[in-house]
Amino acid sequence: MLVNRLPYRFTLYFSALTATLLLGVPVGSPASAAELCPKYGECVPAAHVRCEIMDSSLVTRVCYNEPSQYMVIRLKNTDYHYCEINAETVAALVSASSGGRHYNAHIKSSANGGRFDCRGKKVPQFS
C-alpha cells in the first residue's frame, strides 16, 4: 500500500486532507470535528468557517470567516484565533511558500497583543 511507504508527516497530512475532503469538516479539533476551539477563545462551529489544510511544520490548518474577518489557525496542535484580519492577509498566508515564516512575519501576536490579536476587539459570536 502506498501510504505505508510515505514519510510519517506526509501520511498524517494525507489522512487529514482525505478525511476533510470526504467528511467536509476539519479534522483533529480538540472538542469535536464540528467545532474549532481556540486556546484563548470560545469554540466556533466549523460550519461557520472555511478551512484549508496547510503543508507546514508550524501552520497545519487555517479556518476563516470572511464576513466577520475572523480566523482560527492551528499551530502544531493548538488553535488560536485572530480578529479583524482581512481576506487578503489570509489568502497570502494560505498561498505562502512557508506558512510558518509568513505567520511569524505578518500575523503573530506579541505578549502585548498585535494587529490581529482578538484582545480588546469584538470577537464574533456564532450560533
Domain extents in the chain = 3-106
CA distance 113 to 92: 21
pTM of whole model > 0.75? Answer: no
Question: Is-contact 85 106, C-beta < 8 A?
Answer: no
- Which stretches of the chain score pLDDT less than 70? 1-33
pLDDT in tens, 30-66: 444 689 999 988 999 999 999 999 999 999 999 999 9
Q: Which of 51, 88, 89, 48 is nearest to 73 (CA)?
A: 51
Residue with cell 502585548: 112
Q: What share of the chain is helix, strand, coil (3-state, %, to 5)?
A: 30, 25, 45
pLDDT at 111: 75
